[in-house]
Structure 1
Amino acid sequence: MYFYAARQPILTREKELYAYELLFRDNIDNVFPDIDGDEATSKMIGASQFNMGISEFTGKKPAFINFTLETLAKGFPEMLTTDEVVVEVLETIKPGKKLLSICQSLFEKGYTLALDDYEHQNVWAHFYPYIKIIKIDWQTTSVEQIQTIKTAIADHDHIQLLAEKVETPEEYNQAMELGFDLFQGFFFAKPEMVKTKSLSPSQMAMAELLYETSKPDLDLSAITSVFERDVTLSYKLLRYANSAIFKRRSEISTIKQALVTLGSGELKRFLGLLFAANVNPDKPSELINAAMTRAKFCEVVSKDINAPIDTSIAFLTGLLSLIDAILDEDLPSIMDKLPLAQDIKDALITKKGVLAALVILVEQIEHADWDKVNIVMEKLGLQKEQVLQHYNEAIAWADEQCQLSA
Structure 2
Amino acid sequence: MNEVFMSRQPLVNRQSKIIATRLTLHLGDQASIVDAVSTLSALANVWPQSEKPVFISCGRTGCEAGILDWSAPDNATIELPATTLVGQAGPDVIAALQTFQPTICLHFDPQAAQALSAGVQFRFIGFDAQQFQLGQLKLLTARTRTYGIGIAFNVETSEQFRACLEAGITAAAGWFFTSPTGAPAKALSPGQANIVRVLNLVRQNADIREIEAALKLDVAISYKLLRYINAAGFGLSCEIQSFRHAVNMLGYEKLNRWLSLLLGTASKDPMAPALMHTALLRARLMELLASGLVDKSEYDNLFITGAFSLLDVLLGVGMEQALEAMRLPEPICDALLSNGGRYQPFLDLAVASEADDGEAIADQAAMLGLTSDQFNRAQLQALTFADAMEL
Normalised by the length of structure 2, the TM-score is 0.68
1:18 has 2:37 as partner: no
| Matches of 2:319 and 2:354, distance apart in 1 | 20
Given candidates 314, 328, 339, the residue that maps to 2:327 is: 339
After superposition, what is the alpha-carbon deviation per residue over 1:41-92, rounded to whole angstroms, capped at 9, x for unaligned?
42145325xx425334xx44222224845326xx536x335x3222321355
Question: Judging changes above 3 Å, is the alpha-carbon distance between structure 1 residues 324 and 103 closer, same or farther for their aligned structure 2 residues?
Answer: farther
Identify the residue that residue 222 of structure 1 maps to in structure 2.
251
Which among 369, 373, 379 is matched to residue 361 of structure 2? 373
1:213 aligns with one of 244, 257, 269: 244
Question: For the residues of structure 2 that align with 1:163 and 1:40, how far apart are their CA atoms?
Answer: 27
Q: Do 1:20 and 1:64's aligned partners in 2 also have CA atoms closer than 8 Å? A: yes
Q: Deviations over 1:193-246 (max 9, x none)?
A: 9xxx9896254346766546159xx54853432442464336799xxxxxxxxx
Matches of 1:120 and 1:149, distance apart in 2: 13
Look up the match of 2:72.
Answer: 80
Contact 2:81/2:106 (8 A) holds in 1: yes
The reply on whether 1:179 has 2:179 as its aligned counterpart is no
Distance 1:40 1:10, change over 3 A: farther
Alpha-carbon distance in 2 for matches of 1:402, 1:102: 33
Percent identity over the alignment is 18
* Structure 1 unaligned spans of 5+: 26-30, 238-283
Q: Residues 331 and 117 from structure 1, CA distance in 2 versus in 1: closer, same or farther, beyond 3 angstroms?
A: farther
Look up the match of 1:389: 374
Match of 1:115 in 2: 106
Mapping of residues 1-400 of structure 1, within 5 Å = 5-24=6-25, 31-32=27-28, 35-36=31-32, 38-48=33-43, 51-56=44-49, 59-66=50-57, 68-71=63-66, 76=69, 79-81=71-73, 83-90=74-81, 92-93=83-84, 95=86, 99=90, 102-103=93-94, 106=97, 111-116=102-107, 118-119=109-110, 122-127=113-118, 130-143=121-134, 145-146=136-137, 149-150=140-141, 154=143, 156-192=145-181, 201-205=224-228, 211=242, 213-214=244-245, 219=248, 221-229=250-258, 231-233=260-262, 285-302=273-290, 310-341=298-329, 343-350=331-338, 352-378=340-366, 381-385=367-371, 389=374, 392-393=377-378, 395-396=380-381, 399-400=384-385
Counterparts in 2 of 1:120 and 1:92: CA distance versus 1, 3 Å: closer
Aligned residues: 336
Structure 2: runs of 5+ lacking an equivalent = 183-190, 193-219, 231-238, 267-271
Report deviation, 1:162: 1.6
The 3 A distance-change label for structure 1 pair 371 and 352 is same
Distance 1:327 1:101, change over 3 A: farther
Corresponding residue SS for 1:9: strand
Deviations 1:142-199 (A, max 9, x none): 446535634xx52643532221111221221222222221211111333459xxx989
RMSD in angstroms over aligned alpha carbons?
A: 4.2
Give the secondary-structure state (helix, strand or coil) at the position aligned to 1:123.
helix
TM-score norm. by structure 1 comes to 0.65
Distance 1:144 1:225 in 2: 51
| Separation (CA, whole Å) in 1 of partners of 2:244 and 2:357 | 44
CA gap 1:9/1:71 in 2 versus in 1, 3 angstroms? same
Distance 1:148 1:97 in 2: 30
Q: What is the CA-CA distance between 1:296 and the residue it aligns to? A: 3.2
State whether residues 301 and 390 of structure 1, in contact with CA within 8 Å, keep that contact through their aligned partners in structure 2: yes
